[in-house]
Structure 1
Amino acid sequence: MMQQSLGQRLSSLRVGQKIGLGYTLALGIAVSGTIASFRVGHYYQQQGQKREEHARNEIELLHRLQSRVLQTRTHQQQLIPLAQYPEKFQDEYAHLLKHQAEIQEIWTELKAFVASPILQDHVHQATILAFLQTYDRVPQLYSQELKRRVERIRNLNLALPTDVEQAQRLMLEFTNSDLALKFDGISDDLVVSINQAYRELESAEESQQQANKVVEKIVVASIGFSVVIAIILAMLTSRAIAQPIKVLTSVARRSTEESNFELQATVKQDDEIGTLANAFNQLIRAVQQLLQEQKTANEQLETYSQTLESKVEERTQELNDKNTRLHQLLEELQRTQVQMVQSEKMSALGEMVAGVAHEINNPVNFIHGNLTHVQEYAHSLLGFVQLYQKYYPDPAPEIQAEAEELDMEFIQTDLPKMLDSMKMGTDRIRQIVLSLRNFSRMDEADFKAVDIHEGIDSTLLILQHRLKDKPERPAIQVIRDYGSLPPVECYPGQINQAFMNILANAIDALEEANIKRTYQEIQENPSQITIRTFMIDSKWIKIAISDNGIGMPESVQKRIFDPFFTTKSVGKGTGMGMPITYQIVTEKHGGKLNCFSIPGKGTEFIIQIPVQQQVCDGVE
């Protein structure tokens, strides 16, 4: 009964209403599916963001605790050589007490952090709880024992060498004690917890990616389902319109061929086709008397047919326009997703670089600082040996034999050289760490006036492994032609990312050009990257980065900044490096980015950015 009522209602609709109903159903399904996908994706994204934020907080807390433990042990070991300098000894001990207080504060924060509901019934929670239980009283016992030994040292007369030796022996025994070694174990066990936290962060990031994929699949499924429904509705609508017309046409043909004007068309619908059938029946009944009316009715029928086709074409064009807009929306969604992934990658890279730089910096500073004392001790000992040889030129045979076996003359010459080389090496490591920290710029989320040359040099240091010589080719030469630039207001991390993308593309172009050249040919015409900087006027600067690689044809140059466009093989390029660079320079900094290239000669990228961001007018 319900099906019969529904059929009657549908048959009573006009042709235009039937077509509109079909399009409305198809579009409604597509919109509903898209909204549902966004809601589902938003829920999973929120869950992933909570896990990711929790993992990041945990990593930061564990890194802080590990850093303070290492600093405490470093200051405690520094107390040994400083025992003979009471003021420096007290100053070093004051720093150590500050770090111990920070350890207790971080320890309390870590206990509260473990109680977070996000880690409930989680394996990682058991690991951290076991860690806290194992070392719960170790920092306090370490502090108490160290305080007791410092009090004993304060009671000594450090003006006497014997008391200085006793003080150093007290601190040295404490350094090698089981309590101190167990305190060191805190740092070692923290490495395991930090690694687990990083795996949690990776898992959260994967959940984010899965949420994005779910959204994408649901959108595609809803669009596909709507297309299928639209096709089915179009077929049903066409059948509902065409079948009565076919019957009516058959009656008209028979009446014309057979001259049988008693035939009547069956009327089953109340729409335009039913009206047409009634008019046709009336025309058949009055055909012999009203031939002129028949002609007029035929003309009206032709006019209506044309109008119906026009409406169908209009609706079809409207559907095509909507499908085009949906396709553009999908492309925009994909482009935004890739940009978000790229941003997260750069953020993760910056955090990793900053963390590595921080971890390397502490032990290197400790080694670098102690090398000065070692050099002083070595020079003093060598001077003492020379003084002894001067006043006792004829040592006992046993001493003479031992001196010859040790080759004292060689040691006196080589030991200072070795210490100088070690100090040069620590200086180089400190420079590398500084460059890594300058490149990451993780603590600079706002505009800041920085040295552009420093950012370029830091980026080149990161890419040094790709620039140096290899068995198949000599090193790529980097020519720096720096002008005098003032500090420039910018996002330092984003500008460094733009330098990284352009320089990496230049290296790719040079490596591709070198594939067909021999080692000798490359030596005769070396691969070069030239970086020039200069002021355009008082408000703008220019950075030009060029290479003598393979260059690009004009067709590639026109699309170099299009999203997802790449000439690299699958797996080597996403096609988003240069679009993101263009966005950083033009949208984030109000600058300009141009590309000039000659096939077979090379490529040059020119960056123009304002010195101060409030200046909006540009230059050519």
Structure 2
Amino acid sequence: MTAPMVRLSIRSLFLWVVMAIVTITLVISSGLSIYSQVNAYEEEIINHVETLTELVASNAEMYIEDGDEFATTTKLNSLNVAPIVLNVNVYRFATDPDTRFTLFASYNKPGQALARPEELDSEYTRLRGNYIEVVRKVRGNTNLNEVLGYIFLRASAEGLQEQIGSTILINLTVMLLMMLVSFLLALRLQRVITDPIEDLADFLQRISRQRDYGARSRSSNVRELAILSEAVNVMLMRIQEYVQKQQKAEEQHRKLNASLEDMVSQRTVALKDANQELIQTLEKLHQFQRQIVQNEKMASLGDMVAGVAHEVNTPIGLGVTASTMMLDRLANIQKEFESKTLKASTMSKFLAESQENLNIIYRNLNRAAELISSFKQVAVDQSSENSRSFCFAQLVNEILLSLRPRLKKVGHNINIEVDPTLTVESKAGPINQILINLIMNSIIHGFEGIDDGNIDICAELMAGNKLKIVYRDDGKGIPPDIRKRIFDPFVTTKRGQGGSGLGMHLVYNLVTQALNGSISLTSEEGHGVEFIIVFPVAGANSA
């Protein structure tokens, strides 16, 4: 398993975080210190220059009033003792109306040119680059509200710049020293924290390689790391116990496998014999099941034969009776004819009775022929697996005709909703058997205790040459426990009462295997049943 790419370590992350905090703190504190010191220096030198300006203004008022320029100039030259003073100009109001102020006296430090103020209308103090310019009013001694003129003093601010530079240099030096000290302390603290973690990581890697779960980690002076080491030791102890239990279990398992090999070989031989016997039994069971299903089909056919035989017996018996009467009447007519006593009235009566008897014989023989033909077609269909073209409505009528002996004993109604022109090509035998089983199931099970039930048989041609048959009744319905396994073999509610439980299983096999279709059931107890059968047909057509 490859180790993931490591981008950061605790050591570097700790160092970066500590140094970032220290650097931000020192930068902010040094900036605030420099700003406050610069403001203090600036305020101090400006106050000093303003004080000099006020002093010069107080001394110059007497000279302006006297108009003594020389004395004023001499007094101003005494400012050479103040090295920061560069220029001092004394202005008074001019007598010329075009000029408001005139230069009364001035002092210029050696090497400095005469400097003039930008304006004299008000008092101000300005710091402009390396210079400090101050303008003050010169007031009279007797009347302080009287303005005699203005004093303009220009001082050097180079000392202020030097102090600012010195302050910045000192603060930067201190900040760098503090950062160096912080870096060294962070390295020391980093080792205190990260070294035990690295030792613990190396210890765990060694344990994972050597699988020596009996080793224990050393404790640390840091409380959190000591808790972590203790937790690792507890985990190793539990892993060691688990490994020991696993080894014991594996040893027992090996011993058990060794003892089970002989038993498995013996059981395998016995299982092969039992399996072979089971296969033979299963084959016999399948044979018996097929035989039982075939017997079920033949039993339904036998019931139909008995019913049809009983049904055919009535019209044939009537035909025999009518023919016997005809023979008797014919013998009487022959005697009278031979004895020459035959009357016209007797002959007329004989002809009328003969016509009536012949009609009786014809109707009953025709009815018997229809029954025999219908039964013959149903019997042929049930015994044949070949496809043929037939009218579906006619097929249903033939089935109902063959079931007439059973149906006339009950009062149930069978409604056929099928297009009389619907002709399909399919296997008629399975369809016969399916409808017969469904009708008999409704009579025997669905309408038990019901005298006037209704059965609906609907058929329609669907897209793709598929025939859909819907069979429904309004009988008792199917209980839920029977409904979910209705198509399984040997499922019946008439166990011990003649029910084999193979009727619906036979229907399911005929639909899915013989007709290659599908069948679905919808039923609620007390609300009848509905079967929907869909299967493909060939050569289907409908008007």
Q: TM-score, normalised by structure 2?
A: 0.42
Q: Which is higher, the Rg of structure 1 or of structure 2? A: 2
- The structure whose residues are more often helix, as a share, is 1
- The structure whose residues are more often strand, as a share, is 2
* Larger RCO, structures 1/2 (Cα 8 Å, 6+ apart): 1
